[in-house]
Amino acid sequence: MEDRVYNVLFLCTGNSARSIIAEAILDRVGAGRFKAYSAGSRPKGEVNPYTVAVLEKSGFKADGYRSKSWSEFAEPGAPPLDFVFTVCDAAAKEECPYWPGQPMTAHWGLPDPAAVEGTEIEKHLAFADAFRMLNNRISIFASLPMKGLDKLSLQRRLEEIGKAKPVDAP
């Protein structure tokens, strides 16, 4: 693959937690190499407050992110996509729209932190776990030598990343 800025879309059903966290992480760790986006098949319409909290606690600016439909990225004038990653099992099983740019795809599923029921601490921990797992996977992805990999090798690496576990899990 060539050396340029790559457009990356992260998908989950509600686009309020995992995909927003992934977008924020890639915005930071992939700055200059990647342009991150996120969307959902059935967007909640707002970013989960625990998502905002985990991003801010991790030193990210959480403003500017919004919950939106994946149809925005299938419309004329949408950015051509190079990579599309599903971060929830439900979105991975849905029929996706046609993405401009013929992107490479992979499933990087992880548990939905927004589905956790329990104490405030348990909810914050679920979002922190999701953040760590996504940060680990996205850091690996952002460090790949895109210029030196053929498409088949890159696809295999993308699938392997989806199986990666967080390195600093408690």
Instruction: Name the active-site residue from 8, 11, 12, 138.
Output: 12
The C-alpha angle 113, 165, 64, rounded to 5 degrees, equals 45
Tell me what pLDDT residue 168 has.
46
Q: Are the CB atoms for 15 and 43 separated by under 8 Å?
A: yes
Give 65-124 pLDDT, tens digit per residue.
999 999 999 888 999 999 999 998 765 566 777 777 889 999 999 999 999 999 999 999
Dihedral class, residue 4 (left if φ above 0, else alpha if ψ from -120 to 50, else beta):
beta
Tell whether the model's pLDDT for residue 2 goes beyond 70: no
Q: Where are the domains of the chain?
A: 6-161
Tell me what pLDDT residue 1 has.
62
Pick the CATH number of 6-161 from 3.40.50.720, 3.40.50.2300, 3.30.70.890, 3.40.50.300: 3.40.50.2300
Tell me what pLDDT residue 82 has.
95
Mean pLDDT of 15-26: 97
Mean pLDDT of the chain: 90
The yes-or-no answer on residue 96 being catalytic is: yes
Instruction: Name the active-site residue from 22, 25, 39, 88.
Output: 88
Instruction: Name the active-site residue from 78, 96, 116, 164.
Output: 96
What is the model's pTM? 0.91
The yes-or-no answer on residue 40 being catalytic is: no
The yes-or-no answer on residue 159 being catalytic is: no
